[in-house]
Amino acid sequence: MDTAVTSIRSQMSSQRSPVRVLALAALMAVVVIACGDDTTSTDSGQQVIFGEGEIPSTVPADFPIPQNGVIGSTLIDRINHKTEFSVQLGVDLTTAVQFFDVELVNRGYVVTSSAALSDQLWRIEFNQGELIGEVTVNSLGGQISQAVITLNVA
């Protein structure tokens, strides 16, 4: 009986070895991918840079940002020549839209479209020379809104 149990255990452990090897290989692959180049650093050589809390370096210095706006998530995509960032605003949708409509024009941008997409969403399209962009303003309720700015620069 002991010989039979030992034989079965031996067979089971030899059958588990390939499974363990595959599981270990899969785990190693995940670790290598997770620890690899995640392109989230601020190294200027990176193709895609994620950030938060600061206006991306690719945004023109004269671009209008409300004084009390809080910068949220940011993205610089050098592959697709795109910069995007969000700004939380302590004002309602109408006030936020008016700010961008007026300030873009005051700073030399040409507003090509400014229209409501719904009761809570507004899109402003603009350009200045070769720069093309849009501001999408979303009402988050009451006196809070969010603007997502997308520019064709990276």
Structural domain harbouring 30:
1-36
Is the model's pTM score more than 0.75? no
What is the per-residue pLDDT across 118-137, written as a single tens digit (0 to 9) for each?
A: 999 999 999 999 999 999 99
Domain total of the chain: 2
- CATH at residue 86: 3.30.310
pLDDT for 153 equals: 86
86 and 126, same domain (yes or no): yes
- Which contiguous run of DSSP H or E holds residue 93? helix 93-106
Query: Per-residue confidence at 44, pLDDT binned at 50, 70, 90?
Result: low
Q: Which pLDDT belongs to residue 147?
A: 98
3-state secondary structure of 136: strand
Same domain, 113 and 136: yes
Complete DSSP assignment for 18-42? HHHHHHHHHHHHHHHHHHS--S-S-
Q: Is residue 42 part of a domain?
A: no
Fill in the amino acid letter for 102: V
- Asked whether residue 117 is domain-assigned, the answer is yes
Please report the sign of the dihedral spanned by the C-alpha atoms of residue 115, residue 117, residue 118, residue 124: negative
